[in-house]
Amino acid sequence: MSRNLLCSALSWAVLVAFSSAFTGPNSHKTSVPATSGTKAKPMALMTSCDPGDPAFVDTDGDGVGNDCDLDDDNDGILDTNECAPSDFFWSGKPTIVGNTATGTINGIGYTYQSSQPIGATGGVFGIGNFPASYGVPSVNPTIQNTQITNNTLTFASPMTDPVLVFASIGSASISVGINFGAPVEILWSQSVVQNTSTKITGTEGYAIVRMTGTFSSVTFNYTVAENWANFVFGATVPRVCDFDGDGIADQLDADSDNDGCPDAIEAGGTDGDGDGKLGVSPVQVDVNGRVTGQGGYTANFQNAKRATRLLVDTAPGNQSVESGGTTSFSVAANAASTTAYTASVPNYTDPSATNVSGTIQYQWQEDTGSGFANISNGGIYTGATTATLTLTGVGLVKNGAKYRVVVKHPDNACILEQREATLTVTGCLTDIGGTVYDDPTIQDGVNGSPANGTTLGLYVTLITTGPGAPSQAVVPVSASGTFLFSNVPAGSHQLVLGTTAGGSTEGQMPTGYFAIREGAAVASGSGEGDGTADGIIGFTADCAGIQYTTARIAGDVSYLDNNFAISIENPLPVTLISFSVTAEEQNVRLNWNTSAETNSDRFEIQRSRDGKNWAALASVDAKGESRVNEAYTYLDRQARSGNNFYRLKMIDNDGTFAFSSLKGIRIEGQELVVAYPNPSDGAVQLTVADWKRVVNVTAVDMNGRKVFETGRPKSETVPLPALGKGVSVLKILYEDGTVEAVKVVRR
C-alpha cells in the first residue's frame, strides 16, 4: 500500500473481532449474501462438483453440481440472493496486552497470540473496500501488525468455520504472502491471489477467508514486513432458508413464498412452460449453472420473498343507458401482502400483513370484434386505468358493446383477474309535434293563425332515418292545425307536409301552395319559391332534447290570403331540463327539474320492466305556473330486482299531456329467479329477471333425473308444466356458466 510514510521498512497489522447480534459481551451477528460473480468453494470440497463423486448433487439437472451451481433451481435468482449462505459473527473489540489479545466470538472466548508485540490503531485501513453486507467492523482498538509474525488463535471451546479478514496486504510494489495452518476458502477478495489451498498473496490486497470445519485453534503466518496490514476475525454459521416453511430450501423451491407465482416470474423473468425454471426448457447454462439467453438475474428478487394476494370483491355489472347519457362500470378489489405463514400457507389475515390495495393496477378494455383492446382516456371515456370506467355521451352504436377490466398487482406478476360486462344503449322516447299556420305575410317568423288541416286535407309524415331500419308514420293535421307523434325514438328524422293520407316522402301542397325555408324571399309574380322549397324539415331527437328548423308553406304571391307555415314546437306542458334515476340500496330515487311551467297539473310516474309496457306508479303535483327552476323527487320503494324503466307523464290542467324520455336502471337483488306458486298443485310460472342471459332451464327430481328442459326463454316468464309430486329443483344456466337453483314443491 502507498501511504507516503517515511518508515517503509516497518510493517504492522490489525486483527479485529466484532458482532451486532449480541450473544456475548460486545459481540454481534451479520447475515451476508455473496457479492462476487462466482460461488467460492473450499478447495478441499471441490470434488463434490464432479458427477462421478458420491457427494455430487444436481437438483436442477443442468449438469452443474449444487456445490458449484450459482442457481441450484434455475429460476433466474442467484442462490446467494435466495438465501444468504451463512450468518457471520464478529468479535467485540479485543483487550490487548503485549503479544496477546483476548475477546469473544458468538459467546466463545478466544486468545490471539503473536510472535511480536501487538500494536493498536483506531480502526481498519480501507474499511470502505469491503462489501457492507459482510458487516466487517472497524473498532478502537484494532490489532495492528507491522512485522513478520507467526500467529495463533485459540478458542475456549471448538469453533465452527472461523473467518479471517485481511486489510491492505502489501502495497503496489510489495507482494506479501500469508500461510495458513489449514485450507482456506476465499469468500471475497480484491487484489489477492490464492496460490494454494493454504496460501494467499496480496498486492495492496483485501480478503475475507474462511477455514471450513471445527477448530480448537488456527494458525497463520505473515511472511513479509511491510508498511502495515489489518486483520479481522470472526466465524460463520451455515444458514438454512425456508421462507414459507414447506420443507424445501428457498434456493431449491420454485415458489419460495408459496403465493402461486413462480420465483422466476416474481423476479422479473419469464416461465413460458410453467415448470418453475427461467424461460422455456430445456435451458442452457454456463459453467457456473446460470441460465443463459433467457434473461433473469436482476436485482428485483424481493417479491419472491413476499406473498401477495388480490381478490375481486365486486365485479362490474351489466349497465343500461339512454343514448346521449352517461354511465359507468366499476370493479372493487383488494390486495394484501404477507410474510406470515400457517402450515406453509400465506396468512393474509395476520396482524403483520400489509394492505397493498393502493397499488392495484386497472386497465379497461373493449371488445372490438376481433378481441379485447385497451381503452385510453378520450372521446366518451374517462377512468380507463382506474377502478371506474365512465362513459359520457354514449351513442346507440355502443348498444351491446362488451367491456372487460384487467386487474393486476406489481407485487405478484402472476395476478391477472379479468371481469366482463355488457352495455345496453336504449334510444330515448320523446314526443314530436307542431302546428300548421296560415301565413298571409310570407315574412320571417311564424305568422298567422293555425290552419284548418281537416278542410285542407293536410297530413304530416314522420320519417325516421336512423339508427336502425328506416320507419314511417303519418298523422292528420287537426282542424286546429296541430299534429303529434308520441314515443318517437332518438335518432334522425324528417317531417314532411303532404296531402296523402298514407303519407308521402316528398312535400305535397294544396293547389296554389308551395314551401319555402324560413328567411327565404319570394319575389312578386314567382310561383315556386327560391329553389329550396321542398316541404321537408330535417331534425335530430336525442335524450338532450330536439333540435329543429322552421319552414313555411305559401301560395303564389297572387294568393297571399291562403299562405301558411309549418313548424316543430315543444309540445310539452312544461320545460323539462333534467330527469335522472339512481339506486338507493334496493330503492330507486327519481329526480327531475323544470325551468318553466304553464297551466301544468301533475306528473304521473310510470314504471316498466321492458320499456314497452307501462303502469302508473305514483302522482306528484306540479307547481302550475312557474318561470324559475323547480326541483321534484320521488322514491320508488317497490323497485324489483333486475331492470326497471321509468318515465314521466306530464299532464296539463286541460288534460293534454306529453311523456319525458325513458330512464333505465338495474337493481341487483337476491330474488333474480322466482317460482310461483310454490308449493304448487299444478303448473308453475318461473320469472327470471336476467332472462336474456339464460342459456337453458332444466328441472331434476330428488333422484337427479331430468324431468324438464327448455332452451333460451323468449321473455322473463317461463311457464313450466306440472312436475309430479314431491320436490324438484329448477336449474337456470347463464351464459357465463353460473347456475342458479330454485327448489319447487309439488303437492
Q: What sign has the CA pseudo-torsion 222, 228, 233, 238? A: negative
Give CA–CA dist 285/66, Å, rounded: 13
- Residue 204, amino acid: E
Mean pLDDT for the chain overall = 79
Q: Where are the domains of the chain?
A: 12-33+84-238, 308-426, 429-569, 574-667, 673-746
Give CA–CA dist 199/175, Å, rounded: 13
pLDDT of residue 399: 87
Return the C-alpha cell found at 48. Answer: 463434490
Query: Domain 308-426 sits in which CATH superfamily?
Result: Immunoglobulins (2.60.40.10)
pLDDT of residue 9: 28
User: Nearest Cα to 570, choosing from 599, 548, 591?
Assistant: 548
Which of 342-346, 576-580, 587-591 is predicted with the least confidence, judged by mean pLDDT? Answer: 576-580
pLDDT of residue 403: 97
* Cα 272 to Cα 73, 262, 280, 282, 416, distances in angstroms: 16, 11, 5, 11, 16
pLDDT of residue 197: 93
| Residue pair 597/632 in contact by the 8 Å Cβ criterion | no
pLDDT of residue 303: 83
538 band by pLDDT with thresholds 50, 70 and 90? low
pLDDT of residue 408: 95
Beta bridge partners of 663: 646
User: Nearest Cα to 265, choosing from 294, 289, 242, 241?
Assistant: 294
Give the count of beta carbons closer than 10 Å to the beta carbon of residue 723.
Answer: 22
Q: What sign has the CA pseudo-torsion 641, 647, 652, 654? A: negative
pLDDT of residue 37: 38
pLDDT of residue 645: 86
| Residue pair 668/680 in contact by the 8 Å Cβ criterion | no
pLDDT higher at 470 or 721:
721
pLDDT of residue 618: 92
SS (H, E, C) 724-743: CCEEEEEEEEECCCCEEEEE
pLDDT tens per residue across span 278-325: 999 999 999 999 999 999 888 778 888 899 999 999 999 999 887 777
pLDDT tens per residue across span 553-573: 444 333 333 333 444 344 455
The distance in angstroms from the start CA to the end CA of the chain is 103
pTM (predicted TM-score): 0.49
Which of 233-247, 433-447, 469-483, 489-503 is predicted with the least confidence, judged by mean pLDDT? Answer: 433-447
**Beta strand 176-180 pairing with 630-636:** unpaired
pLDDT tens per residue across span 390-410: 998 887 778 899 999 999 999
**Beta strand 229-238 pairing with 15-16:** parallel
For 429-569, CATH gives 2.60.40.10
pLDDT, average across residues 179-199:
94
pLDDT at residue 260 greater than cutoff 50: yes
pLDDT of residue 736: 65
For 574-667, CATH gives 2.60.40.10
pLDDT of residue 514: 57
Give CA–CA dist 724/728, Å, rounded: 8
Return the C-alpha cell found at 602. Answer: 301533475
pLDDT tens per residue across span 83-102: 876 788 998 889 999 999 99
pLDDT tens per residue across span 463-506: 887 655 567 889 998 887 777 777 777 667 778 888 899 988 88
Same topology between domain 308-426 and domain 673-746 = yes
Q: Say whether the peptide bond before residue 346 is cis (omega within 30 degrees of 0).
A: no
* Cα 627 to Cα 601, 602, 623, 630, 701, distances in angstroms: 15, 16, 10, 9, 66
- Residue 24, amino acid: G
Cα torsion at 217, 223, 228, 232 (round to 10°)?
-20
pLDDT at residue 387 greater than cutoff 90: yes
The contacts of residue 438 (CB under 8 Å, 6+ apart) are 448, 449, 450, 451, 481, 562, 563, 564
19 band by pLDDT with thresholds 50, 70 and 90? very low
CATH architecture of 673-746: Sandwich (2.60)
| Phi-psi label, residue 693: left if phi above 0, alpha if psi -120 to 50, beta otherwise | alpha
**Degrees (nearest 5) of the Cα angle 270, 274, 278?**
35
Give CA–CA dist 508/176, Å, rounded: 116
Give CA–CA dist 418/409, Å, rounded: 13
